[in-house]
Amino acid sequence: MKKTILSALAGETLPVPPIWMMRQAGRYLPEYRATREKAGDFLSLCYTPDLAAEVTLQPIRRYGFDAAILFADILLLPQALGADLWFVTGEGPRLSTLTTPEGLAALKPVEAIHETLAPVYETVRILVRELPRETTLIGFAGAPWTVATYMIAGRGTPDQGPAHALKAADRATFQRLIDRLTEATIDYLSAQVDAGAEVVKLFDSWAGSLKGRDFDDFALEPAKRIIAGLKARHPGVPVIAFPREAGARYVGFARATGADGVALDNSVTAEWAAENVQKDGCVQGNLDPALLVTGGERLVAETRRIVRAFAKGPHIFNLGHGITPDADPDNVSRMIEAVRG
Q: Tell me which residues are annotated as active site.
A: 23, 27, 36, 73, 150
**Type of residue at 210:** L
Q: What angle do CA 275, 281, 285 make, to 5 degrees?
A: 70
Which DSSP helix (H) or strand (E) runs through 242?
Answer: strand 239-243
Tell me the pairing of strands 199-204 and 92-95: unpaired
Taking the CA atoms of 166, 159, 209 and 156 in sequence, report the sign of the dihedral they define. positive
Q: Which residues in 94-111 are b (16+ Cβ under 10 Å) and which e?
A: bbebbbeeebbeebeebe
Query: What is the rounded distance in angstroms from the CA atom of residue 183 to the CA atom of residue 8?
Result: 28
Return the DSSP state at 90: T
The Cα–Cα gap between 47 and 18 comes to 29
Task: Give me Rg for the CA atoms of the chain.
Answer: 19
At residue 49, what are phi and psi to the nearest 5 degrees? Answer: -55, -45
What is the full DSSP assignment across 166-196? HHHH-HHHHHHHHHHHHHHHHHHHHHHHHHT
- Backbone angle region of 303, left / alpha / beta, with phi > 0 → left and psi within -120 to 50 → alpha: alpha
Cα distance between residue 149 and residue 139, in whole Å: 22
DSSP code, position 112: G
Residues 6+ apart with CB under 8 A from 234: 190, 193
